Chain A
């Protein structure tokens, strides 16, 4: 019907049918290649989860889940009677070390971000931002030895603190220095994304630069700033080498930062190198701790995503 009436006007009917050309075949191929690329990371993650879970399940055949999650003595590599698989001290130490790190990294990181985005002249900013970005690429082993051979003996002992050669304070502080640039650069991106019109509005009301930064720009960029903090926190939670080198080899349930502490990632690294049978619970503990760490970071990220969604401010 349509076709005949259209034909009646005498205009040639355009060909709108799907045809297979070399171009359309190429498009399809590219599409599948891209999909495959995306799948690589998904599949890898799935593979990691399965290999973790497999050994973890075996481990929980030897050690009860309750014993693992609520035990307060963590000596998995000790032989015989004194061997104990209570993960609480290890989780606690992980959070404690992260806490010390964030105590350094949050104020200095946010401070640097505010300085960069609100105070620094374009010229200073052009120099400082890349420096920070490079700093966040320094291999962590460098930070580890910095903590062990400089911060502990020169600074902490120099200040008269009675710290062990391996101690939580030194490792935690340097952990903070490690994540500081990450927090600073990501938070700076969030702050600079706040439209200039909001700053003008606030300045126009007689607010000082500090008031504009803290009361308008920072809250307006809150979701991005929180994302920066979570990124920093997950980096600190998962950091291995600094803790391995400067933190020590044992995890106790203590609030004393002058003694050695170990976090979960450092335990995994240390235990993997240790001379242990691949069939016993010592070996399984590595995977159980890995799973726990995985879940912890997952929860951290989930919280942050929810938070970011809730407070995201959309500027056109």
Chain B
């Protein structure tokens, strides 16, 4: 509790800091900012957009086996950033650095800096529990708790001690998760009785209920049919007005449809030692990645010539 209180006052300072640091990094990858802004029409003007994350030379090692290395890129507020690349290139490993989920794997160790609003998430004084209160996560396989639909949503607000009318919090989260109409008459039934697509939207709504700033999604649609997938994609486009989203996906069309910016990772598992570690090839606006990428390997991958 004490830590939460002491952290709040310098939050504005942090954000101010992040805003200033965002400008050079936004310019540095030389991307056509105006195009992004026009295409979606909801963005703040180019100059005011903030990088919420700045990854600087991030590497992750499992025991003594490195999984990803030398990852440096920013993630912008109110955007959807997609991470793509062949299996094993470290997308899940990397996205789990963004809310310190890697802490749950004892063997994993992270090097480099993962700055979030100017604070390195891997600093000693950072409390991972506090981090995850601001940065929610949705997983590949829907993982509702074996509780009622209502209790699934209320879980986060309850553990965070959020005040306010719980019924309203639950309803609003389910509405934002585009699930309210389907489940409003059976809130007190077990969540395991829902379809896979509904369960996944429940997990998204559950993450929204705690009002995080960022939502991380690791292949959220890989277990779903096209209709559920479409719904979740629509939902993501709605959500980015208020949240920043990072999504890992194997579905190129999905990355192209929803994301503003795409990071392409690569790994050559059969190659020489240094190539067996996943690394970033390029991060560009999604349109550029899919039409005119800087790197030949990106083009080969997105056009299906590779991997």
Chain A residues near B (Cβ < 8 Å):
121-122, 195-208, 211, 215-216, 219-220, 313
User: Given B130, B137, B141, B144, which contacts A204 in the complex, CB threshold below 8 Å?
Assistant: B137
Q: Give how many B residues have a beta carbon under 8 Å from the other chain's beta carbons.
A: 29
B83-126 vs A, CB cutoff 8 Å, 1 = contact: the mask equals: 00000000000000001010010100000000000000000000
What are the 6 A-B residue pairs with the smallest beta carbon separation, nearest first? A206-B133, A204-B137, A205-B156, A197-B143, A206-B132, A201-B143
Contacts of A201 in B (CB 8 A): 139, 143-145, 203, 206
A202 touches B155 (CB 8 A): yes
Contacts of B192 in A (CB 8 A): 313
User: B60 interface residue, CB < 8 Å from A?
Assistant: no
The 28 sampled A-B contact pairs (Cβ below 8 Å) are A122-B106, A197-B141, A198-B143, A200-B137, A201-B139, A201-B143, A202-B155, A202-B159, A203-B104, A204-B99, A204-B101, A204-B132, A204-B138, A205-B136, A205-B156, A205-B159, A205-B206, A206-B132, A206-B133, A206-B210, A207-B129, A207-B159, A208-B159, A211-B159, A215-B155, A215-B159, A219-B146, A219-B147
Contacts of A204 in B (CB 8 A): 99, 101, 132, 136-139, 207
Contacts of A203 in B (CB 8 A): 101, 104, 132
* Distance from B152 Cβ to chain A, minimum over Cβ atoms (Å): 9
Chain B residues near A (Cβ < 8 Å):
99, 101, 104, 106, 129-130, 132-134, 136-139, 141, 143-147, 155-156, 158-160, 192, 203, 206-207, 210
Contacts of A220 in B (CB 8 A): 145-146
A199 to B139, CA, bound (A): 12
* Distance from A98 Cβ to chain B, minimum over Cβ atoms (Å): 30
* Distance from A38 Cβ to chain B, minimum over Cβ atoms (Å): 34
Contacts of B158 in A (CB 8 A): 215
Question: Taking each of B129, B141, B160, which has the highest tally of chain A beta carbons within 10 Å of its own beta carbon?
Answer: B129
Contacts of A211 in B (CB 8 A): 159
B101 touches A200 (CB 8 A): yes
* Distance from B237 Cβ to chain A, minimum over Cβ atoms (Å): 22
* Distance from B135 Cβ to chain A, minimum over Cβ atoms (Å): 9
Question: Taking each of A198, A207, A208, A211, which has the highest tally of chain B beta carbons within 10 Å of its own beta carbon?
Answer: A207
Contacts of B143 in A (CB 8 A): 195, 197-198, 200-201
* Contacts A211-B159, A215-B155 given; does A202 touch B145 at CB 8 Å: yes
Contacts of A195 in B (CB 8 A): 143
A206 touches B130 (CB 8 A): yes
* Distance from A314 Cβ to chain B, minimum over Cβ atoms (Å): 8
Contacts of A196 in B (CB 8 A): 104
* Distance from B177 Cβ to chain A, minimum over Cβ atoms (Å): 14
Contacts of B133 in A (CB 8 A): 205-206
